[in-house]
Amino acid sequence: MSATHQRNRDESEPDNGPINDNDVRQVIEAAGWAPSVHNTQPWWFGPRGSRISLHADVERRLEVADPDGREMVISCGAALFTVRIAVRKLGYEPVVHLLPDPDRPGLIADVSLGRPEPAIEDVERLFAQVRRRRTHRGAFRSETLPASLLPKLRVEATLEGATLRVAVDTHTRTALAALTEAAEHVQRLNPRHVSEAARWAPVPGSSRRDGIHEGAYRREPERTEPYFPGRDFARGHGWGTERQASAGDPDENMTGLVAIVTTAGDDRADWLRAGQALQRILLRACAEEDVSAAFHTQALEVPELREFIRTRFCAGEHPQMLLRLGVADSGLTSVRRPPEDVTRQAP
Ligand SMILES: Cc1cc2nc3c(=O)[nH]c(=O)nc-3n(C[C@H](O)[C@H](O)[C@H](O)COP(=O)(O)O)c2cc1C
């Protein structure tokens, strides 16, 4: 059985009784370290008896960039995969009931502890990456990725019902970079978009535990070739982190592997598949080869560009995430809200 196997709940199945408070806290703490768009952490957890419910926090949705909540749900999917691996780490099979109530679209999943299943080494390794994994921004180091990694990542995506498509030829990579740049310009032309993004990029020194702080991006990001622009978190203020001299130099313009996570459909269940696949890919890449991801989802937030990417580069499947994979110098940081802030009484 795979390390992160999940089963959908069979209602006749006996559960393991109430989950103790420490275990609940450990699961919620871990889930909070999932990646989320603009670090919005658009989720809350409702522990009740033998299960933990994961809810989308719709107040944290990006109204302008993400009107349908697609990126919000992808983020929740990443948190859900993390809940599953955390439950496996506790020594149980996660029993997941996805989107259990059509009348409560914000309810993403109910997860309970299934059969006892001691955490095998692979679970421990993946779980150990949950806190370590960091979004990279900028160029990668020159190491080429081992040929064995990509097939493994493709399998991880498939196991979650998604596909990882790698842009191998130069023209596809260059076209995706150009579309990202076009989207970045289009978004900067929209004052509503600019002010929404600014709300999630706090000023240096802020005590907020969400959003993209200056520790999460470079003051002078290295330019990749082809050029995949990052988001403008510093807004011309010169904020950002200096590269540490000890960090090792990124290679000139090293873009890394350019890939798109796609799904066959494009509804909430598909977005959840994409999010779970994303976190599974990221943890595997980090565990196997210390490989990190940089994300460039600007073009997927512009409907015309997303449609263009779907038809031209995804064989008609729906693009959910655009990322680059490579070996990064570390040193970027991120923040999270503590479990108390994301735990509520489930109704
Ligand atoms: C749906 C989604 C879209 C994202 N888009 C971008 C992006 O366009 N640019 C970027 O720099 N990071 C992007 N990210 C990464 C988040 O900003 C990052 O996960 C968050 O700031 C938390 O930081 P961490 O991943 O280092 O823990 C995205 C993440 C998700 C889940």
**pLDDT tens per residue, range 88-113:** 999 999 999 999 999 999 999 999 99
Ligand 1 centroid–CA 146 distance in Å is: 25
- 135 Cβ below 6 A of ligand 1: yes
pTM of the model: 0.96
On average, the pLDDT of the chain sits at 94
Interval 233-270: pLDDT, tens: 999 999 999 987 655 566 668 999 999 999 999 999 99
- Cβ of residue 218 lying under 6 Å from some atom of ligand 1: no
Q: Tell me the average pLDDT across 167-192.
A: 97
* pLDDT (average), residues 312-320: 98
Q: What is the largest CA-CA distance in the chain?
A: 59
Q: At residue 5, does pLDDT exceed 70?
A: no
Binding site membership of 136 for ligand 1 (Cβ less than 6 Å): no
- Amino acid 17: pLDDT: 78
Helices (H), the chain: 21-31, 70-90, 121-132, 149-159, 170-188, 191-199, 268-289, 303-313
Q: Find the helix packing angle between 70-90 and 268-289, rounded to 10°.
A: 50
pLDDT of amino acid 243: 82
What's the pLDDT score for residue 1? Answer: 39
pLDDT of residue 249: 61
Taking the centre of ligand 1 as the mean of its atom positions, its distance from the CA of residue 96, in whole angstroms, is: 25
Note the pLDDT of residue 4. Answer: 58
State the pairing for strand pair 51-56/107-116.
antiparallel
User: Does 38 sit in the ligand 1 pocket, CB within 6 Å?
Assistant: yes
Report the share of the chain in percent with pLDDT over 90: 88
Residue 346 pLDDT more than 90?
no
Which distant-in-sequence residues (6+ apart) come within 8 Å of 337 by Cβ? Answer: 32, 41, 209, 210
Q: How confident is the model at residue 133 (pLDDT cuts 50, 70, 90)?
A: very high
CA-nearest residue for atom 18, ligand 1, is: 35
Whose C-alpha lies nearest to ligand 1, atom 19?
35
Q: Whose CA is nearest to atom 17 of ligand 1?
A: 38
d(CA 106, CA 104): 5
> Taking a C-beta distance cutoff of 8 angstroms, is the pair 250, 221 a contact?
no
Q: Please say if the pLDDT value at position 2 is more than 80.
A: no
Can you give the pLDDT at residue 345? 85
Q: Is 339 in the pocket of ligand 1 (CB under 6 A)?
A: no
